Amino acid sequence: MESIKNELRELQNKQSADPHIIAKSEQMKNVVELINRVAHTDITVLFTGESGVGKSLLAEHLHNWSGRKGNFVTINCSSIPETLLESELFGYDAGAFTGANPKGKKGLVEEAENGTLFLDEIGELPMNLQAKLLTLIQKKEFFRIGDTKPKSVNFRLVAATNVDLIERVRIGKFRADLYFRLSVIHIPIPSLRERREDLLSLIMNLTQTFNSRYQQEKVLDHAVIDSLLQYDWPGNVRELGNLIERLVLTVEDNLIQLNHLPSKHVSSNLPDGALSVQALKNKTLPEIMEEVEAQVLKGAFERCNSTTEMSRYLGVSQPTIVRKLKKYGITRGSVVSES
């Protein structure tokens, strides 16, 4: 009976996979696995990572897997003036202040009843609201502005930040007790340069997504793909998505070529023998992806002194490097003989 349950759970997991989340690298597989493991609990989760790594997307994925019937309610703590943030979060009672709605207003905390409240850029939350948020987490109660009776709410809190909260605690900008409450489950999201194994799939997935959205049939020249694979992506997945969306919308030809890329995205050190359109003509997408992966591995093999160094450079595990080198027959002799 237990084995049947496990099989059903595995089938459900496969069917519920989010097509927008690419997790071929070990780092992202571990992230998604942890999210799925804690999704059905009420535990508070803190996502950290650079801007553009996909923290909000993963927070929504957590909500979708949680089974909660309420809404996924999100607020960016840095985008709303401090004077308005409290009323946005907690709402206000009738006649609470001049200009207030005479009927009062429900806050986002109440909107998240039976759902998930996602506080993005939590590191920018003002100190006075940090104390109220701590009470909300501990008691699941809050006060509307101008009300003397507490309201109870059933919600799941998820937060995210791109700043070092421990450093903000050290300099007195963030409450230590709130930090420990938020980070019961702390999930760091790797940067795109740390998960290069996902990069090719992200490029293909985003191109297909924007083609579908804008009813286009754009194709990336393989020199473009090579260049995008070489770039470090300081803006992470957001920067990649913005670039591909712009290319799909603005390039008149169906073939997006190297001259269409902004200069900063054009690599000046593409490896010799980089893949060309002619070399990959009439090949299937899986074959193309293998060709590109082999080229990336060969370039890293020439640059690095060990498989451990390669794993750090490409953002994958060392056993993965060993397995893929064996798969493509990449050895010191084979690379030297090609050069």
pLDDT of residue 19: 63
Q: Which residues contact 293 (CB under 8 A, 6 or more apart)?
A: 200, 324, 328
pLDDT in tens, 32-63: 999 999 999 999 999 999 999 999 999 999 99
Contact 313, 194 (CB under 8 A): no
pLDDT of residue 20: 73
Q: Find out if CATH 3.40.50.300 is the number for domain 18-190.
A: yes
* Portions of the chain given CATH number 3.40.50.300: 18-190
Q: What is the mean pLDDT of the chain?
A: 85
CATH architecture of 193-338: Orthogonal Bundle (1.10)
Q: Which of 43-57, 137-151, 180-194, 255-269 has the lowest mean pLDDT?
A: 255-269
For residues 324-338, give the mean pLDDT.
71
Please report, in angstroms and rounded to a whole number, the separation of the first and last CA atoms in the chain: 58
Question: For residues 298 and 314, what is the distance between their CA atoms, to the nearest angstrom?
Answer: 12
pLDDT in tens, 317-329: 888 999 988 988 8
* Portions of the chain given CATH number 1.10.8.60: 193-338
The closest alpha carbon to 136, from 178, 169, 106, belongs to 178
